[in-house]
């Protein structure tokens, strides 16, 4: 094997303590505006040199060989890379990563589309998603309220920090939305009401200032919020983040929303 290693290898899988870590890797890549293939790769440019791109940062090392194992001094600690056919197996601080000489396919991520239905506090939310480019996440524990998220990415694998989204949240008492969202949102301004699904909903808008956060290219997020009240004072909250509400695709989703079961 000496001196014969060449070519570029791309991250294909990652696991730590039996847990699949690719979702986290995809999230980091998306947040940094990169593909997973750009985020993590290993290249052998020639000689006993190894070039590693880890979390988007490029580093170059000299390596030594021991049978089918490549050893490098990584920040004062020895890292071993096991070479098997066209695969590299790397153990980095307990995370086992597999790199292959073919890029990870990403074009097959089409997400969810068509009719989406979900129940929140007895309120049935139904809407239509476009053919491509969206996915959903349901019943995440947010402020102890049931939720439905629509993310403007084709798969949860592509969800990053502060991914553009439409969030639905329901509560038995609409007034609780003000209790939850008042603190820290002093910059909210009232906007015109909007009829969504036959419900006249109060509109508000505010900005979240992110400041300078590593891996995140944007420093603020614009939010548009709509709150609707049903006959028994039950409330539905729709939060549209980092999306233009008059964009044709976003507008079509909002206009497709219907409510039932209340």
Residues 127 and 247 in one domain: yes
Q: Does residue 1 form part of some domain?
A: no
Q: Does residue 212 form part of some domain?
A: yes
Angle CA(61)–CA(66)–CA(68) in degrees, nearest 5? 95
Last residue of some domain: 100, 134, 150? 100
Last residue of some domain: 100, 131, 161? 100
Give the domain CATH number at 66.
2.40.128.280
The pLDDT value recorded for residue 193 is 94
Give the domain CATH number at 194.
3.40.1000
The pLDDT value recorded for residue 2 is 45
Q: Does residue 180 form part of some domain?
A: yes
Rounded CA separation 78/61 (Å): 12
Residue with tokens 């919020």: 225
Residues 21 and 149 in one domain: no
Residues 178 and 134 in one domain: yes
Please state the domain count of the chain. Answer: 2
Quick one: how far is CA 226 from the chain centroid? Answer: 23
pTM: 0.64
The pLDDT value recorded for residue 141 is 59
Residues 72 and 199 in one domain: no
Residues 125 and 253 in one domain: yes
Q: Does residue 2 form part of some domain?
A: no
Residues 197 and 168 in one domain: yes
Residues 200 and 166 in one domain: yes
Residues 70 and 128 in one domain: no
> Which domain range does residue 213 map to?
114-260
Q: Does residue 108 form part of some domain?
A: no
Residue with tokens 């390596």: 63
The pLDDT value recorded for residue 44 is 92
Rg (C-alpha) for the chain, rounded Å, is 23
Residues 86 and 120 in one domain: no
Residues 131 and 181 in one domain: yes
The tokens for 182 are 């008042």
Q: Does residue 105 form part of some domain?
A: no
Three-state DSSP state, 189: strand
Residues 138 and 230 in one domain: yes
Buried b (16+ CB within 10 A) or exposed e, 160-181: bebbbbbbbbbbeebebbeeeb
The pLDDT value recorded for residue 210 is 74
What residue ranges of the chain have pLDDT lower than 70? 1-4, 106-110, 141-144, 178-187, 211-218
Residues 245 and 165 in one domain: yes
């Amino acid at each position: 094997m000496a001196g014969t290693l060449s070519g570029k290898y791309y991250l294909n899988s990652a696991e730590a303590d039996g847990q699949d870590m690719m979702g986290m890797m995809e999230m980091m890549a998306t947040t940094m505006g990169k593909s997973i293939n750009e985020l993590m790769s290993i290249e052998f440019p020639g000689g006993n040199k190894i070039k590693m791109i880890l979390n988007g940062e490029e580093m170059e090392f000299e390596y030594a060989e021991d049978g089918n194992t490549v050893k490098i001094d990584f920040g004062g600690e020895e890292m071993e890379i096991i070479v098997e056919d066209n695969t590299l197996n790397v153990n980095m601080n307990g995370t086992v990563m597999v790199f292959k000489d073919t890029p990870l396919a990403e074009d097959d991520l089409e997400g969810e589309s068509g009719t989406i239905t979900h129940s929140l506090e007895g309120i049935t939310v139904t809407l239509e998603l476009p053919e491509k480019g969206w996915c959903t996440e349901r019943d995440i524990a947010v402020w102890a309220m049931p939720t439905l998220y629509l993310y403007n990415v084709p798969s949860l694998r592509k969800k990053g920090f502060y991914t553009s989204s439409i969030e639905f949240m329901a509560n038995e008492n609409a007034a609780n939305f003000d209790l939850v969202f008042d603190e820290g949102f002093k910059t909210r301004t009232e906007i015109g009401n909007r009829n969504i699904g036959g419900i006249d909903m109060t509109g508000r808008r505010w900005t979240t200032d992110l400041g300078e956060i590593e891996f995140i290219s944007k420093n603020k997020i614009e939010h548009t919020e709509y709150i609707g009240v049903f006959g028994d004072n039950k409330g539905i909250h729709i939060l549209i983040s980092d999306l233009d509400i008059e964009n044709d695709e976003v507008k079509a989703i909002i206009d497709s929303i219907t409510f039932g079961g209340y």
